[in-house]
Amino acid sequence: MKTSVLFASLLTASVASAAVAPATLSSLAAGSDMSPAHLHKRTTAEEVWEALEEAATCTACEAVLTLLKAVAHLGNSDFVDLMTALCIISDTEDEDVCKGIIAMEGPILAHDLRQFRIGSHTSEVFCAYVFGLCEIPSVTAYDVPFPSPKPATGRPTSSGKTPIEVVHFSDIHVDRFYEEGASYNCTKNICCRPYTTAYEPGNTEYPAGAYGNHACDSPVTLEKSMYGAIKELVPDAAFTIFTGDVVEGAIWLVNETEVTANLQDAYQLMASYGLATVFGTVGNHDVAPVNSWPPSAIDTTISSQWAYDTMSSEWEQWIGSSASSVADSNPGSYSAIFGNLRIISINTNMYYEENFWLFAPTMETDPSGQLAWLVDELQAAEDAGQRVWILGHMPMGSSNALHDGSNYFDQIVNRYDATIAALFFGHTHKDQLQIAYSDYTARSYKNAVATSYIAPALTPTSGMPAFRVYSVDPETYGILDIVTYMTDMSAEDYDTAGPTWTKYYSAKEAYGPLVTPPIAASDTAAELSPAFWHNVTEVLAVNQTAFDEYYARKWRGYEVGSCTGDCVSSEICMMQAAEAQYNCWTPTVGIHFSKRGNSTTAAADARKHDHDECEPSLAKRMFHNLRKTKRSQI
Ligand SMILES: *[C@@H]1O[C@H](CO)[C@@H](O)[C@H](O)[C@H]1NC(C)=O
Ligand SMILES: *[C@@H]1O[C@H](CO)[C@@H](O)[C@H](O)[C@H]1NC(C)=O
Ligand SMILES: *[C@@H]1O[C@H](CO)[C@@H](O)[C@H](O)[C@H]1NC(C)=O
Ligand SMILES: *[C@@H]1O[C@H](CO)[C@@H](O)[C@H](O)[C@H]1NC(C)=O
Ligand SMILES: *[C@@H]1O[C@H](CO)[C@@H](O)[C@H](O)[C@H]1NC(C)=O
């Protein structure tokens, strides 16, 4: 496919839908060999899609960007019209979903595109993540400045004192419009809502139960059930961590009013159930438009300040004056003290590939100055002899993390590895972990420096609803064990009796005996250190039985599927990478598009296997969802 034909197809698509003055189009077409005759032919949806289908190289991506940039210069509404037309053509989502989301996401993309220098680092990163047409460029070298050299001290050994318990849950994605009896078999990414008459209770053969369904986000009944179970099963919890994403996945419908009410409802419900002090984090979904988190330096009227303000005021009851930084100095982040532990909650949206604001013409090294602030907080903790837990939404080794930010963050983790007891994330909806190393070219138990614990989700879209309880050393705040609780939605009486929460597994019981030297479950004081976890990954790489058990736990036993050979290697690689460039995920260069064959199946498949469980932006899925090569399980 010649670039000029692609241009012509896309331009005429924009003419058809946006009624642009022909003079403007002629000037846009200058430099291409497009004949004016093309401009009068109304290109069919199918033709545009075919044009894109053949764009298979990084150079082709630049050509597409050049075109999109030109349309963006015509104004937001022209751009939104073109993108909406493309979305409908691509059949990635229903028409109402296309219209709703692109009306919100389009202006952000247009803002970036207008200023793009085609061929720059930013545009290459954009082509890699949004179109999958370029390799991810190598990290732009930057040495994070530290106020003091790294001390010789290592991780403290366990105190042997009676452990405290800490509850961790994540990705609740509560759907306040979930309706019992509404269809769970729909063409949207989440069902159990009466989107149409046919989906209404009484009209469907697929009525949702009262307590949730794997094709839907969490009903309030499920949310309440979990809070109740936490109170009952862990009455003496010292505190609670919640790693973000309150809002449901009907992202084409969410707006400021809805998100604000969602955030208020969820945090007030946690409080009303009397959960021990909740330390929250900002999820990518906790705003509208979804993923729209402009860093402080971006000048825009599409502000997310209201979301920060809402979380700040809800969190104040638990974190007191620390809540002010959530709204002001470092939007979305704070540092709070519990005993001798400093809890630092960071806003990982500053490194998230779906936050299109990050693709400013020159990508910022340290969006909102958060990394500099994190260094100050860690230095203060080191100076005060405190230990630190870092909380965030997106795991920083994830394939969703931009490589540059992930690298700079990992430099900080390595500098303060003796102070950081552990890191805690959510976002993937799965039970996972990531290990940080001081040398990724020679990963070993000797140079494993930190563990990121990734909690499974409450929302049932990719597994059974779950939460976990850490057994924690009260002096070092090291993690001694993780007990995961879940409710089995396949139980026969689930829809009538409601969720029953039971112990699923203990990490120490499951993995302790497999390593050399073994850790007995009775050795309650032994820490699950980064070296321990590295040793576990080495066992999983060679013992398929142990790996299968791990893999089933990742999904809490729901539609587990098999994973052998390369799948095992890539899973182990992910576990051995808290820095994104080393996680073995690469976009498949030379993307192929194809029309969606079966919406329900395709949507379910995307839910389960897309590398971003948090319903990535539509613009991106439009280009990615239909690729033939699945990037599985990240
Ligand atoms: C959803 O409905 C279609 C028919 O419309 C049916 O073929 C399919 O099996 C249903 N899916 C589920 C999960 O029940
Ligand atoms: C915001 O969303 C809610 C729920 O979808 C809807 O009822 C309301 O009309 C929307 N408000 C605006 C201003 O669009
Ligand atoms: C990890 O395994 C090595 C042997 O490969 C062993 O020497 C070391 O003690 C183990 N560390 C932990 C914490 O299990
Ligand atoms: C492999 O893992 C299984 C299941 O955890 C365990 O029972 C078995 O002893 C392990 N095999 C070896 C050779 O360590
Ligand atoms: C979609 O897939 C399901 C399950 O394989 C099948 O029963 C259904 O008929 C398919 N629907 C369409 C529209 O092809």
Residue 560 and residue 552 in contact, taking contact as beta carbons nearer than 8 Å = yes
How far away, in angstroms, is 201 Cα from ligand 1 center?
16
Q: Which residue has the tokens 């005429």?
A: 12
How much is the average pLDDT of 76-91? 81
Q: Are residues 231 and 372 in the same domain?
A: yes
| Ligand 1 and 601: CB distance under 6 A | no
User: What are the pLDDT digits (tens) for 182-209?
Assistant: 999 999 889 999 999 999 999 999 999 9
In the structure, what pLDDT confidence band is assigned to residue 387 with cuts at 50, 70 and 90?
Answer: very high
483 domain residue, yes or no: yes
| pLDDT at 65 (0 to 100) | 82
Q: Cα-flanking dihedrals φ and ψ of residue 78, to 5°?
A: -60, -45
Q: Are residues 263 and 121 in the same domain?
A: no
Residue 370 and residue 346 in contact, taking contact as beta carbons nearer than 8 Å = yes
Token pair for residue 619?
């613009």
Question: Is 431 annotated among the ligand-binding residues?
Answer: no
151 domain residue, yes or no: no
How far away, in angstroms, is 517 Cα from ligand 3 center?
6
pLDDT surpasses 80 at 55: no
Strand partners of residue 239: 166
Question: Is 81 annotated among the ligand-binding residues?
Answer: no
Q: Which domain holds residue 620?
A: 3-136+615-633
Q: Are residues 348 and 417 in the same domain?
A: yes
**What is the share, in percent, of the chain residues with pLDDT greater than 70?**
83
482 domain residue, yes or no: yes
503 domain residue, yes or no: no
How far away, in angstroms, is 310 Cα from ligand 2 center?
18
Q: Are residues 320 and 416 in the same domain?
A: yes
Q: Are residues 529 and 627 in the same domain?
A: no
Outline where 91-183 has alpha helix (H). Answer: 95-115, 121-126
Beta-carbon count within 10 A of 228 CB: 13
| Ligand 1 and 600: CB distance under 6 A | yes
Question: Is 40 annotated among the ligand-binding residues?
Answer: no
Q: Are residues 238 and 274 in the same domain?
A: yes
How many distinct structural domains can be found in the chain? 2
| Ligand 5 and 600: CB distance under 6 A | yes
Look at residues 49, 48, 46 and name the one whose alpha carbon lies nearest to residue 15: 48
pLDDT surpasses 60 at 243: yes
User: What are the pLDDT digits (tens) for 322-335?
Assistant: 999 999 878 999 99
How far away, in angstroms, is 448 Cα from ligand 3 center?
11
In the structure, what pLDDT confidence band is assigned to residue 63 with cuts at 50, 70 and 90?
Answer: confident
187 domain residue, yes or no: no
Look at residues 579, 577, 573, 481 and name the one whose alpha carbon lies nearest to residue 529: 481
Give the DSSP H or E segment for 420. strand 420-425
Q: Are residues 402 and 523 in the same domain?
A: yes
Q: Are residues 113 and 46 in the same domain?
A: yes
Mutate which of 185, 192, 461 to test ligand 1's pocket (most atoms within 8 Å of Cβ)?
185
Instruction: Give the separation between CA 135 and CA 180, rounded to whole angstroms.
Output: 45
Look at residues 69, 67, 61 and name the one whose alpha carbon lies nearest to residue 34: 67
User: What are the pLDDT digits (tens) for 531-567?
Assistant: 999 999 999 999 999 999 999 999 999 999 899 999 9
Q: Are residues 542 and 432 in the same domain?
A: yes
Q: Which atom of ligand 1 is nearest to the CA of 206?
A: 14
Residue 294 and residue 331 in contact, taking contact as beta carbons nearer than 8 Å = no
| Ligand 5 and 605: CB distance under 6 A | no
147 domain residue, yes or no: no
Q: Which of 72-81, 303-312, 516-525 has the lowest mean pLDDT?
A: 72-81
pLDDT surpasses 50 at 628: no
Q: Which atom of ligand 2 is nearest to the CA of 257?
A: 1
| pLDDT at 329 (0 to 100) | 77
144 domain residue, yes or no: no
pLDDT surpasses 50 at 137: yes
pLDDT surpasses 90 at 4: no
Q: List the Cα angle 248/252/255 in 5-degree steps.
A: 75
In the structure, what pLDDT confidence band is assigned to residue 71 with cuts at 50, 70 and 90?
Answer: confident
Question: Is 111 annotated among the ligand-binding residues?
Answer: no
Q: Are residues 111 and 242 in the same domain?
A: no
278 domain residue, yes or no: yes
Q: Are residues 11 and 98 in the same domain?
A: yes
pLDDT surpasses 80 at 441: yes
Enumerate long-range contacts of 311-316, CB under 8 Å, 24 or more apart.
Answer: 311/263, 311/267, 311/280, 311/282, 311/286, 314/263, 314/264, 314/267, 314/268, 314/280, 315/267, 315/278, 315/280
How far away, in angstroms, is 185 Cα from ligand 1 center?
6
Look at residues 132, 207, 221, 134 and name the one whose alpha carbon lies nearest to residue 172: 221
| Ligand 1 and 496: CB distance under 6 A | no
Question: Is 262 annotated among the ligand-binding residues?
Answer: no
CATH of the domain at 420: 3.60.21.10
Q: Are residues 174 and 95 in the same domain?
A: no
